[in-house]
Structure 1
């Protein structure tokens, strides 16, 4: 498969030891190093207060770094105001002018960027076509759905052809079905045009769906960076394991190390998996709900304490000496009832060893 085309204007973004301190001692971002390749979509993901939005705003020039350097392409933009940076931002609130038509909203920024009236109109119309809103130019924002309004905001940003396009929680005001549709639209446009995009969200599923890379942030610092699959399959620690998708964290003992593999034990049940350079002794096993299996003869004793039918699958809560775990099973025709005794085992692949125990 050929490599996707990168826009001629798309530029990389680089942070070198960047910090942001509010007041005397409120550290919002703590000496982070970050690189976003040109033409890639990188998501900043983390809980509220972790520093992701402040990082995005420093790229935009809406916040100034307290220390460190920020580059867009080869240009040091650390001290430049937002008006002198070739970036645009799509906000969660859409920020459309209610008294202007859709076409006028999209054209607005172009008129301040030196484009003539007809060229601005032509570019604005092309932007609306690109986001699937051909024929909607004469409507007011109030006559559009939430998803359509968000597409107008995307079109308004795209027509400026920025070096970097920024998204700040762009789907938070949409319902679940619209979120899925609009995130697919954003991803398709980003890939088709080869744009550099930095995207902020607290929604793990959203991040997994749209990103080339995800930067997980915690306490003003970067906890881990990688592709969606790398972070899901090989988290560095319990925070990342639990934040990227849901994970059950079980205390275990590494009883043997055999080259790159390890043998762990939980209540007499032994399981072999990649050792990740951990020594023998206490550790933590991270297990996704979909990787839990139920056996009859071998495994960890457990009791089904809750069973919930959600249409396409069954959701189970299991309790035992290990505590409580959450599991999902595809078999909805023969569900297990609460009170059923089972033996809990794990899929051949999926569980991950982490430090601690």
Structure 2
């Protein structure tokens, strides 16, 4: 099994008007259309109960669609059982056999699929090489760290050479530092091998870090699809703005439209930004904490309600007639004190008008 062969089977996934109902009344997924390109990592992101895990399980064949079609590699798999779909899944719980060593765990799916023992062993050892666990083949899962156990689970899925590899909250059992390392490992393996991956998480930072594309889900439907940068810098609405990274939502008035540029006004402070098809009148903007400018002489009046030192930056809560915002500032040597009166403006690029 060579590195090139693993990714060569990567296949696209397509949902056409797919719904999933539990019983008569519970709509878990509501008529979604979705295209996952071959060789890309697409993340399903959203709060608990939004339908992301059900969507993943329908790709795997662990749940059957109530309506619509699911295609993998152009083949209609809507009614096929999990065993007849060329996909592998990495679970949140790792699901390793505690009485088997690492090599036996990785070989398990291969031997179950009818591979000869020597071939299964060769493939399993190569799989361990791919995830950086050469030499760990004789250890038991209990002798591994959480991150190493997760890599064993990834290797076990990889060696089956699936058309699509699925991840269900794979990092939720790891501490923060380990989460960062393992997500980098998963992303590197996916890119090196050209795998089609569908990845479920509720962690926005994780999604931004690993994804080619993110599908934000809400109330059993898709709220917005885009690259990490598109979703972060140009969210469609309040939900996406607030869910993808922290965002301050401020009421404003669009006072002028000039081509594709809108001029907004907040308490006499004016700022130009893309109009996004909106017209003059009341509106809402989203501003990231890093895009607020404290000390703008012509800015909006505000009061420092809270100041927190977090090492590499200061974090401020500012209040005013506009309500409350969260801002960050790189100057940790001359912090503002609570109660200080300041003026607040926006970076030239960053604030974005939202569709209601």
State the TM bucket, normalised to the shorter chain.
over 0.9
Moved over 6 A (4+): none
Contact 2:252 2:282 in 1 (8 A): yes
How far off its partner does 1:5 sit? 10
* Backbone CA RMSD of aligned residues: 1.1
Q: What is the aligned partner in structure 2 of residue 73 from structure 1?
A: 73
2 CA distance for matches of 1:114 and 1:97? 19
Partners of 1:235 and 1:187 lie apart in 2 by 24
Partner Cα distance (1:269, 1:277) in 2: 22
**Could you give the per-residue CA deviations for residues 289-322 of structure 1, whole angstroms, max 9, x where no partner exists?**
0000012531111000000011111110000011
The CA deviation at 1:6 is 9.0
Task: Find out whether 1:327 has 2:299 as its counterpart.
Answer: no
Q: Distance in 1 between matches of 2:7 and 2:90?
A: 19
Q: CA deviation at 1:7?
A: 2.3
Give yes or no for contact 1:5–1:192 (8 Å, CA) kept in 2.
no
> Where do 1:127-146 residues align within 5 Å?
127-146=127-146
Residues of 2 paired with 1:160 and 1:295: CA distance?
58
| Partner in structure 2 of residue 173 of structure 1 | 173
In structure 2, the gaps of 5 or more residues are: none
Q: 3-state SS of the aligned residue for 1:355?
A: coil
* Cross-structure match for 2:307: 307
Q: Please name the residue that 1:35 is paired with.
A: 35
Q: 2:333 and 2:6 mapped to 1: Cα distance?
A: 48
1:1-357 aligned at under 5 Å gives the runs 7-295=7-295, 297-356=297-356
2:90 and 2:166 in contact (8 A); partners too: yes
Alignment check: 8 A CA contact 2:45 2:216 kept: yes
Cα distance in 2, alignment partners of residues 137 and 154 from structure 1: 14
SS of the residue aligned with 1:57?
A: helix
User: Hey, what's the Cα distance between the residues in 2 that align with 1:334 and 1:153?
Assistant: 48
Shift of 1:349: 0.4
Give the Cα–Cα distance (whole angstroms) in 1 for the partners of residues 200 and 5 of structure 2: 23
Distance in 2, Cα, partners of 1:80 & 1:258: 54
Q: CA separation in 1, counterparts of 2:70 and 2:265?
A: 47
Gaps of 5+ in 1: none
Q: Distance in 2 between matches of 1:7 and 1:116?
A: 22
Q: Report if the CA contact (8 A) 1:6-1:38 is conserved.
A: no
Q: Offset at 1:330?
A: 1.0
Contact 2:6/2:161 (<8 A) preserved: no
Moved more, 244-253 or 292-301: 292-301
Q: How many residues align?
A: 353
